[in-house]
Amino acid sequence: MTRLMPVLSAALLVASAAVAPADEWGSIKGKFVFGGDPPTASELKADKDVEVCGKHKLLAEELIVGGDKGIANVVVFVRDKDVKVSPEAAKAAAAKVELDNANCRFEPHVTFVQVGQELVVKNSDTVGHNSNIATIKNPPSNNLIPAGGTASLKFASDEAIPAQVTCNIHPWMKGWLLVRPNPYAAVSKADGTFEIEDLPVGELELQFWHEKAGYLGEMSIGGKAEKASKGRKKVTVAAGGTDLGEIVLAPAVFQK
Protein backbone atom coordinates (compact mmCIF):
# COMPACT_ATOMS: atom_id res chain seq x y z
CA MET A 1 0.00 0.00 0.00
CA THR A 2 2.86 2.35 0.86
CA ARG A 3 4.41 1.84 -2.58
CA LEU A 4 1.15 2.95 -4.23
CA MET A 5 1.08 6.37 -2.51
CA PRO A 6 3.60 8.17 -4.82
CA VAL A 7 1.78 6.79 -7.84
CA LEU A 8 -1.62 7.94 -6.55
CA SER A 9 -0.26 11.37 -5.63
CA ALA A 10 1.19 11.86 -9.11
CA ALA A 11 -2.10 10.78 -10.68
CA LEU A 12 -4.03 13.25 -8.55
CA LEU A 13 -1.71 16.09 -9.57
CA VAL A 14 -2.16 15.28 -13.26
CA ALA A 15 -5.93 15.09 -12.82
CA SER A 16 -6.12 18.43 -10.99
CA ALA A 17 -3.99 20.11 -13.67
CA ALA A 18 -6.29 18.75 -16.35
CA VAL A 19 -9.35 20.37 -14.76
CA ALA A 20 -7.68 23.67 -13.78
CA PRO A 21 -9.72 26.60 -15.10
CA ALA A 22 -8.41 28.18 -18.28
CA ASP A 23 -7.67 31.90 -18.44
CA GLU A 24 -10.65 33.93 -19.60
CA TRP A 25 -10.43 36.99 -21.81
CA GLY A 26 -12.87 39.73 -22.66
CA SER A 27 -13.06 43.17 -24.22
CA ILE A 28 -13.99 46.72 -23.27
CA LYS A 29 -15.63 49.11 -25.69
CA GLY A 30 -17.46 52.41 -25.62
CA LYS A 31 -18.09 55.65 -27.48
CA PHE A 32 -16.98 59.16 -26.53
CA VAL A 33 -19.66 61.75 -27.24
CA PHE A 34 -19.48 65.55 -27.16
CA GLY A 35 -22.20 66.86 -24.85
CA GLY A 36 -23.07 69.99 -26.81
CA ASP A 37 -23.08 71.47 -30.30
CA PRO A 38 -20.12 70.05 -32.24
CA PRO A 39 -17.38 72.67 -32.70
CA THR A 40 -16.02 73.44 -36.16
CA ALA A 41 -12.32 72.76 -36.71
CA SER A 42 -10.45 75.87 -37.80
CA GLU A 43 -8.45 75.88 -41.01
CA LEU A 44 -4.67 76.09 -40.80
CA LYS A 45 -2.47 78.14 -43.11
CA ALA A 46 0.49 76.46 -44.81
CA ASP A 47 3.23 79.08 -45.01
CA LYS A 48 6.14 76.73 -45.82
CA ASP A 49 6.52 74.61 -48.96
CA VAL A 50 3.27 76.18 -50.13
CA GLU A 51 3.50 74.55 -53.56
CA VAL A 52 3.06 71.16 -51.87
CA CYS A 53 1.39 71.79 -48.51
CA GLY A 54 -0.86 74.54 -49.82
CA LYS A 55 -2.71 72.00 -51.97
CA HIS A 56 -4.24 70.35 -48.91
CA LYS A 57 -7.04 71.59 -46.70
CA LEU A 58 -5.34 71.55 -43.32
CA LEU A 59 -7.50 71.63 -40.20
CA ALA A 60 -6.66 72.00 -36.51
CA GLU A 61 -6.94 68.52 -35.03
CA GLU A 62 -6.79 69.26 -31.30
CA LEU A 63 -10.54 68.56 -30.98
CA ILE A 64 -12.27 66.61 -33.75
CA VAL A 65 -16.00 66.05 -33.27
CA GLY A 66 -18.05 64.29 -35.95
CA GLY A 67 -21.53 65.13 -37.13
CA ASP A 68 -22.92 62.49 -34.76
CA LYS A 69 -20.97 64.15 -31.90
CA GLY A 70 -18.42 61.32 -31.67
CA ILE A 71 -15.05 62.53 -30.36
CA ALA A 72 -11.95 61.28 -32.17
CA ASN A 73 -8.49 60.74 -30.69
CA VAL A 74 -9.40 60.06 -27.07
CA VAL A 75 -6.69 57.85 -25.58
CA VAL A 76 -7.72 54.89 -23.40
CA PHE A 77 -5.24 52.52 -21.77
CA VAL A 78 -5.00 49.98 -18.96
CA ARG A 79 -3.08 51.46 -16.06
CA ASP A 80 -2.42 48.24 -14.11
CA LYS A 81 1.32 47.56 -14.31
CA ASP A 82 1.30 43.77 -14.02
CA VAL A 83 -1.76 43.03 -16.14
CA LYS A 84 -1.69 39.55 -17.66
CA VAL A 85 -1.42 39.61 -21.47
CA SER A 86 -3.30 37.05 -23.54
CA PRO A 87 -1.31 35.04 -26.14
CA GLU A 88 -3.45 36.58 -28.90
CA ALA A 89 -2.88 40.16 -27.76
CA ALA A 90 0.86 39.51 -27.32
CA LYS A 91 1.22 38.91 -31.06
CA ALA A 92 0.77 42.62 -31.75
CA ALA A 93 4.25 43.44 -30.42
CA ALA A 94 5.87 41.74 -33.43
CA ALA A 95 4.15 44.03 -35.93
CA LYS A 96 5.63 47.34 -37.06
CA VAL A 97 3.70 50.52 -36.30
CA GLU A 98 3.73 53.32 -38.88
CA LEU A 99 3.56 57.07 -38.32
CA ASP A 100 3.38 58.88 -41.65
CA ASN A 101 4.12 62.44 -42.67
CA ALA A 102 1.38 62.64 -45.30
CA ASN A 103 -0.27 65.67 -46.90
CA CYS A 104 1.75 67.86 -44.53
CA ARG A 105 0.17 66.39 -41.41
CA PHE A 106 0.81 63.39 -39.18
CA GLU A 107 -1.18 60.25 -39.93
CA PRO A 108 -2.49 58.98 -37.62
CA HIS A 109 -2.89 62.02 -35.41
CA VAL A 110 -2.41 59.81 -32.32
CA THR A 111 -0.22 56.72 -32.65
CA PHE A 112 0.10 53.84 -30.18
CA VAL A 113 3.25 51.72 -29.87
CA GLN A 114 4.43 49.25 -27.24
CA VAL A 115 7.76 49.26 -25.44
CA GLY A 116 10.25 47.41 -27.67
CA GLN A 117 7.94 47.50 -30.69
CA GLU A 118 9.31 49.01 -33.90
CA LEU A 119 7.96 52.41 -34.91
CA VAL A 120 8.55 53.33 -38.53
CA VAL A 121 8.27 57.06 -39.21
CA LYS A 122 7.56 57.59 -42.91
CA ASN A 123 7.45 60.56 -45.23
CA SER A 124 4.97 60.10 -48.05
CA ASP A 125 5.23 63.75 -49.11
CA THR A 126 7.45 65.19 -51.83
CA VAL A 127 9.10 67.61 -49.38
CA GLY A 128 11.30 66.85 -46.38
CA HIS A 129 9.95 66.72 -42.83
CA ASN A 130 11.40 66.21 -39.41
CA SER A 131 9.55 64.27 -36.71
CA ASN A 132 10.41 65.68 -33.30
CA ILE A 133 9.12 63.25 -30.64
CA ALA A 134 9.26 64.85 -27.19
CA THR A 135 9.34 61.79 -24.94
CA ILE A 136 10.18 62.21 -21.25
CA LYS A 137 11.34 58.81 -19.95
CA ASN A 138 12.87 57.84 -23.29
CA PRO A 139 15.52 60.00 -24.99
CA PRO A 140 13.73 62.47 -27.29
CA SER A 141 14.28 61.99 -31.02
CA ASN A 142 14.33 64.44 -33.91
CA ASN A 143 14.76 62.69 -37.24
CA LEU A 144 15.06 64.58 -40.51
CA ILE A 145 13.19 62.45 -43.04
CA PRO A 146 13.62 63.26 -46.75
CA ALA A 147 10.81 62.83 -49.26
CA GLY A 148 9.99 59.14 -49.50
CA GLY A 149 12.32 58.30 -46.60
CA THR A 150 11.83 56.45 -43.31
CA ALA A 151 13.31 56.28 -39.83
CA SER A 152 13.00 53.40 -37.37
CA LEU A 153 12.67 53.80 -33.60
CA LYS A 154 12.17 51.65 -30.51
CA PHE A 155 11.40 52.76 -26.95
CA ALA A 156 12.83 51.16 -23.83
CA SER A 157 10.37 52.67 -21.33
CA ASP A 158 6.67 53.43 -21.26
CA GLU A 159 5.41 57.01 -21.10
CA ALA A 160 2.77 58.11 -18.57
CA ILE A 161 1.04 60.33 -21.13
CA PRO A 162 1.33 60.67 -24.92
CA ALA A 163 4.43 62.47 -26.17
CA GLN A 164 3.95 65.37 -28.54
CA VAL A 165 5.18 64.98 -32.12
CA THR A 166 5.98 68.11 -34.13
CA CYS A 167 7.70 69.16 -37.33
CA ASN A 168 10.10 72.07 -36.96
CA ILE A 169 10.00 72.70 -40.71
CA HIS A 170 6.20 72.94 -40.83
CA PRO A 171 5.09 74.34 -37.45
CA TRP A 172 1.37 73.62 -37.92
CA MET A 173 2.05 69.87 -37.92
CA LYS A 174 1.28 68.26 -34.57
CA GLY A 175 0.55 64.73 -33.41
CA TRP A 176 0.95 62.46 -30.39
CA LEU A 177 2.66 59.19 -29.60
CA LEU A 178 1.46 56.86 -26.82
CA VAL A 179 4.11 54.41 -25.54
CA ARG A 180 2.80 51.68 -23.23
CA PRO A 181 4.29 48.46 -21.75
CA ASN A 182 1.51 46.19 -23.06
CA PRO A 183 -0.99 46.00 -25.95
CA TYR A 184 -3.96 47.21 -23.92
CA ALA A 185 -4.62 50.68 -25.29
CA ALA A 186 -6.84 52.27 -27.89
CA VAL A 187 -7.49 55.61 -29.60
CA SER A 188 -11.09 56.52 -30.37
CA LYS A 189 -12.00 56.53 -34.06
CA ALA A 190 -13.63 59.33 -36.06
CA ASP A 191 -17.05 58.24 -34.75
CA GLY A 192 -15.86 58.27 -31.13
CA THR A 193 -15.81 54.49 -30.69
CA PHE A 194 -12.98 52.45 -29.16
CA GLU A 195 -12.38 48.83 -28.21
CA ILE A 196 -9.62 47.00 -26.36
CA GLU A 197 -9.70 43.25 -26.94
CA ASP A 198 -8.32 40.12 -25.23
CA LEU A 199 -8.18 41.61 -21.74
CA PRO A 200 -8.05 39.36 -18.67
CA VAL A 201 -11.48 38.94 -17.11
CA GLY A 202 -11.86 40.79 -13.81
CA GLU A 203 -11.31 44.30 -12.47
CA LEU A 204 -8.89 46.64 -14.23
CA GLU A 205 -8.14 50.34 -14.03
CA LEU A 206 -8.47 52.39 -17.21
CA GLN A 207 -7.06 55.85 -17.78
CA PHE A 208 -8.59 58.40 -20.20
CA TRP A 209 -6.66 61.28 -21.83
CA HIS A 210 -7.27 63.82 -24.57
CA GLU A 211 -4.82 66.39 -25.91
CA LYS A 212 -7.08 69.42 -25.33
CA ALA A 213 -8.51 68.29 -21.99
CA GLY A 214 -5.63 66.35 -20.45
CA TYR A 215 -6.76 63.60 -18.09
CA LEU A 216 -10.54 63.27 -18.37
CA GLY A 217 -11.76 63.82 -14.83
CA GLU A 218 -15.47 64.40 -15.48
CA MET A 219 -17.81 62.37 -17.67
CA SER A 220 -21.28 60.91 -17.84
CA ILE A 221 -21.68 57.16 -18.38
CA GLY A 222 -25.13 55.69 -18.86
CA GLY A 223 -26.62 59.07 -17.92
CA LYS A 224 -24.81 59.11 -14.58
CA ALA A 225 -22.24 61.83 -13.85
CA GLU A 226 -18.88 60.48 -12.70
CA LYS A 227 -15.61 61.96 -11.50
CA ALA A 228 -12.38 60.20 -12.34
CA SER A 229 -9.25 61.39 -10.52
CA LYS A 230 -6.54 61.90 -13.15
CA GLY A 231 -8.78 60.16 -15.67
CA ARG A 232 -8.73 56.84 -13.82
CA LYS A 233 -11.74 54.53 -13.76
CA LYS A 234 -12.01 50.95 -12.52
CA VAL A 235 -14.05 48.65 -14.70
CA THR A 236 -14.93 44.97 -14.64
CA VAL A 237 -14.12 42.99 -17.75
CA ALA A 238 -16.72 40.31 -18.38
CA ALA A 239 -16.02 37.11 -20.31
CA GLY A 240 -18.61 38.13 -22.88
CA GLY A 241 -17.22 41.66 -23.12
CA THR A 242 -18.03 44.92 -21.34
CA ASP A 243 -19.73 47.79 -23.15
CA LEU A 244 -19.47 51.13 -21.36
CA GLY A 245 -21.91 52.65 -23.85
CA GLU A 246 -21.82 56.39 -24.44
CA ILE A 247 -19.26 58.33 -22.44
CA VAL A 248 -20.45 61.92 -22.65
CA LEU A 249 -17.93 64.74 -22.17
CA ALA A 250 -19.23 68.25 -21.51
CA PRO A 251 -17.83 71.16 -23.57
CA ALA A 252 -16.33 72.64 -20.39
CA VAL A 253 -13.97 69.66 -20.15
CA PHE A 254 -12.13 71.00 -23.21
CA GLN A 255 -11.91 74.61 -22.03
CA LYS A 256 -9.18 74.21 -19.45
- Classify the phi-psi angles of 147: left when phi > 0, otherwise alpha if psi is within -120 to 50, otherwise beta: beta
Q: What is the pTM of this model?
A: 0.90
Indicate if the pLDDT at residue 107 is higher than 50. Answer: yes
Q: What's the whole-number mean pLDDT along residues 92-108?
A: 98
Cβ contact 200:170 at 8 Å: no
Domain ranges of the chain: 23-254
Superfamily of domain covering 23-254: Cupredoxins -  blue copper proteins (2.60.40.420)
Strand, helix or coil at 248? strand
Cβ contact 204:234 at 8 Å: yes
> How far is the C-alpha of 84 from the C-alpha of 95, rounded, in Å?
20
Tens digit of each residue's pLDDT (9 = 90 or more) over 45-95: 999 999 999 999 999 999 999 989 999 999 999 999 899 999 999 999 999
pLDDT of residue 222: 87
Q: How confident is the model at residue 17 (pLDDT cuts 50, 70, 90)?
A: very low
> How far is the C-alpha of 177 from the C-alpha of 162, rounded, in Å?
5
Q: What's the whole-number mean pLDDT along residues 33-53?
A: 95
Tens digit of each residue's pLDDT (9 = 90 or more) over 139-172: 999 999 999 999 999 999 999 999 999 999 999 9
Q: How confident is the model at residue 22 (pLDDT cuts 50, 70, 90)?
A: low
Q: What's the whole-number mean pLDDT along residues 189-217?
A: 97
